[in-house]
Amino acid sequence: MRTENSVYVSMTDVENPLSAASPQAFSLDDAEWPTPEHYVLAMQFEDPALRAEIRSALDPQQARKLVKRHKRKIRNDWDSVRRIYMTRAIYTRCLSHPASARALLETGDKRIIESSLYDYYWGRGRDGRGPNTYGEVLMNVREKLRSATAVSSPSFSSQDPNPPG
């Protein structure tokens, strides 16, 4: 059910600056990441070599294939930390790319919904029962960006010690 008080985003839409797959590079954890999706996929693993391999994948689709190939090596605590890593990636990307921050702020007070029919964690899934975690991450980052602009100028500091999460 779509409403006018909502914004629908696909995490995999490379054309949308709010998507985790949007190719807007940023630096985080002493590395340059091509997309938030690359970062989050890599953080599923503790092995630095595997993280580097995922980071250097040509696109998020190739990075996801690498994850599937190594799924037995996914860190034990992943379910409890994945939202934190996604939040860090999206927030840092917004700090690095003012156009992404602007696009997120322009959603106003609308509810942001990840529109995947198949993802019951990041999205709501086909039946709408999923928690819409990606939408929640975007709305939390939006609030953090609003707080940052209320305190300082519209140019955000990438040295913010308190990313949302």
Give the pLDDT score at 157: 45
Name the CATH superfamily, with its identifier, for domain 6-151: YbiA-like (1.10.357.40)
**Per-residue pLDDT reduced to its tens digit, 38-79:** 999 999 999 999 999 999 999 999 999 999 999 999 999 999
E strand or H helix at 6, and its extent? strand 6-9
- Low pLDDT (below 70) residues in the chain: 1-3, 152-165
Residue percentage of the chain with pLDDT more than 90: 87
- Domain segments of the chain as ranges: 6-151
Q: What own/partner pairs with CB < 8 Å and gap ≥ 24 does 49-56 have? A: 55/31
Q: Are the C-beta atoms of 91 and 60 separated by less than 8 Å?
A: no
